[in-house]
Structure 1
Amino acid sequence: MSSGQIVLFDIPSKTGKPWSLNPWKTRLLLNYKGLDYKTEWVEYPNIKPRLEPHVPPNGPQSMAPYTIPTIMLPSGQYVMDSLEIAKVLEKEYPSPSAHVDSPYYDRLLEQTKAAMAALPSVYVTNVYDRVLGEASRPYFHETRTKYLGMPIEEYLAKHPVEESFQAAEQYLRNVTALLKENGQGPFLMGREVCYADFVWGGFLLFFKVMGEDVWERFLKATGDAKVHLDFLEALEPWTKKVD
């Protein structure tokens, strides 16, 4: 039976708080729209058994058939994938609009995908070493070893962190330019929030949780730390609620 609330399925960190960039996108959107929701925390090995009875699997291009974020609407309908969730929430709860169809989404996604492709040495290793609790670490190590084509430790040895940041720097600076494009700021559309802002917000919060050393190096790679710190400050009304 539905409780009347939306349920957000998220993966806990070792502290039991949000960390992953994709669930953050959905959490920020839920908070922005002021929707009543609760979090159901699901460790990595429990994601498939928890979701499989309720939602079709992802396509073969996905890293896993069942992924988080997923939500359950008050109707009992399950929706998986952050962009699909955003489209459904925008349709079901249109006010305030998150402008999910803003062209900034595709423009930003092009840069974040390229940056993530350059940064596995940073995020895979630090999520494993610093973020995840014991229940998720073996699953994460096994699946990311398959994804990287070698054990995490070996990948890090072959792809030093500093070289990875250098490879990602241009893409991160392109995002900085996007945020500066509208002179009114601090958001991509200026003073008005759009879903793409939550995508970038999730990205920033993801790297921030890895530790001050990672966070400072990340900000340096953007070319203008203040732009992103001001952006996060402007997002604070929707980053504080974590359940």
Structure 2
Amino acid sequence: MSSKPITLYDIPNKDPDAPGSPTTWRARYSLNMKKLSYQTIFVELPDIEPLAKRIGAAPTSTKRDGVTPLYTVPIIHDHATGAIVSESAAIAEYLDKTYPSGPTLVPAGTMPLQLAFRDAVSDVFGAFRVFMIEGIAPKLNDRTMKMWKARLTEQGVNLDALFDGDKEKVWEKALAGFAKLDKWFEGNEGPFVMGSEPCFADAVLGAFLRYSWAALGKDSKEWKDIVSWDGGKWVKYLECFTPYETIL
């Protein structure tokens, strides 16, 4: 048994300060918000499915054929209870149920709304996904990069020709998306989605911003744009997550 009560499985890369993906950062933020003791074990992309099958983690979706199970991280293994939980929203629900102290990540009755928020935020960041692919690709380890590139090719994404058209127009979509996101926070009584305390929806948005910072690079024009948009709202929002960024 691990000396830590919980193990978080994540994807490594060449930058030790910026591992993972938007989904694994959601789980890390959730664990840190709850102030839980855990350890991170890094797993290269080709090793995730064998690991999941070995420890009994459930698939989170299906592959492109619509039939074959797809195994992804984050996965947590709670050594205190024996529970093995896949997928960030399910992890947040599990942590609330098992460790009720600290902020409630998914208050009763809010999961459908939080998942709708997750999907809407995914659309905002998906509009400039090619910028993040371009930035994160050189940071991936070779084995993960090889499999990731193959998956992107299946999706019709060519790493050698990411920008099919006007790069500026793609970035204009990002600006419009953030402006829409800003309106969702109008009238909020506090810095977070539900006010003064963070919830799972905040872990989602914070994770996307943290991943964007890592992928784009803090000195890039694109990240500096995000920092300046909406009166500096997004860098201030991300700063709220500084206490929850510890990589254990």
Same fold (TM over 0.5): yes
Letter in 2 for 1:114: D
Q: CA separation of 1:162/1:52 partners in 2, compared to 1, >3 Å: closer, same or farther? A: farther
Matched position secondary structure for 2:13:
coil
The one-character-per-residue Cα deviations of 1:16-40 (angstroms, maximum 9, x if unpaired) are: 3424111111111111111110000
Match of 1:41 in 2: 42
Contact 2:7–2:76 (8 Å) recurs in 1: yes
How many residue pairs match? The answer is 236
Q: CA separation of 1:12/1:230 partners in 2, compared to 1, >3 Å: closer, same or farther? A: same
Match of 2:25 in 1: 24
The one-character-per-residue Cα deviations of 1:143-202 (angstroms, maximum 9, x if unpaired) are: 11112x142223x131544322222333222222223431x3221222222121111110
Q: Do structure 1's residue 91 and structure 2's residue 103 form an aligned pair?
A: no
- How far apart are 1:134 and its partner, in Å? 2.4
Q: Do structure 1's residue 227 and structure 2's residue 236 form an aligned pair?
A: no
Q: Do structure 1's residue 151 and structure 2's residue 152 form an aligned pair?
A: no
Letter in 2 for 1:153: D
The equivalences for 1:74-89 within 5 A come to: 74=79, 75-89=81-95
The one-character-per-residue Cα deviations of 1:78-111 (angstroms, maximum 9, x if unpaired) are: 1111111111111111112334144762453242
The equivalences for 1:158-197 within 5 A come to: 158-182=164-188, 184-197=189-202
Q: Do structure 1's residue 56 and structure 2's residue 58 form an aligned pair?
A: yes
Match of 2:148 in 1: 140
Give, in whole Å, the separation in 2 of the partners of 1:229 and 1:180: 17
Give, in whole Å, the separation in 2 of the partners of 1:198 and 1:145: 29
Q: Structure 2-normalised TM-score?
A: 0.85
Matched position secondary structure for 1:50:
helix
Contact 1:45–1:136 (8 Å) recurs in 2: yes
Matched position secondary structure for 1:126:
helix
Match of 1:69 in 2: 74
Matched position secondary structure for 2:209:
helix
Give, in whole Å, the separation in 1 of the partners of 2:84 and 2:165: 38
Q: Which structure carries more helix by proportion? A: 1
Match of 2:118 in 1: 109
Q: Structure 1-normalised TM-score?
A: 0.87
What's the RMSD between the two structures over aligned residues? 2.3
Identity of aligned residues (%): 28
The one-character-per-residue Cα deviations of 1:23-64 (angstroms, maximum 9, x if unpaired) are: 111111111111110000111111111112212323326897
Give, in whole Å, the separation in 1 of the partners of 2:72 and 2:2: 21
Give, in whole Å, the separation in 2 of the partners of 1:137 and 1:189: 37
Matched position secondary structure for 2:8:
strand
Matched position secondary structure for 1:189:
coil
